[in-house]
Amino acid sequence: MSSSVNTKAKVLYIEDNSANIRLMQDIFSEFLPYDFIYAMNAHDGIEMAQKERPELILMDINMTGMNGFEALMVLQQDSVFTTTPVIAISGDAMPEQIDKALAAGFADYISKPFNVVELIDTIKKKLN
């Protein structure tokens, strides 16, 4: 009998809106075979990322306090996260905002309200 080690990828969602967190939790529990963790602000998200070492980070751009761009810059200074994709999630779907996010180093950009199928596909592509 062989023992299997839990090798599920861990995904961190950094978001300051509890309704959005609940929605993402539901999507993960229904459709995605990954471990879902979250933080309610950028400071806690950075600490959690350093502690948990997720394989993927989903980050809201417009958070109170430190925004997603500032949090990404902090993560980019840590060599542990040089290969960790960080996906921007924002209600701002303007092309200039998307271009700015991708230029800053986000691996992808998902607009809110998001298309659940596109969200799932994007997450799976980044983790496979």
- Which helix (H) or strand (E) segment is 38 a member of? strand 35-39
Question: Over the stretch 52-102, which tens digit does the pLDDT of each residue have?
Answer: 999 999 999 999 999 999 999 999 999 999 899 999 999 988 999 999 999
**Domains defined for the chain, CATH in brackets:** 10-89+100-111 (3.40.50.2300)
Residue type (1 letter), 115: N
The model's pTM = 0.93
Q: What is the pLDDT of residue 6?
A: 56
User: Burial level of 38, CB count in 10 A (0-12/13-18/19+)?
Assistant: buried
SS3 content of the chain, % helix, strand, coil (to 5): 45, 20, 35
Convert 52-64 to b/e letters by CB count within 10 Å (16 or more is b): eebbbbbbbbebe
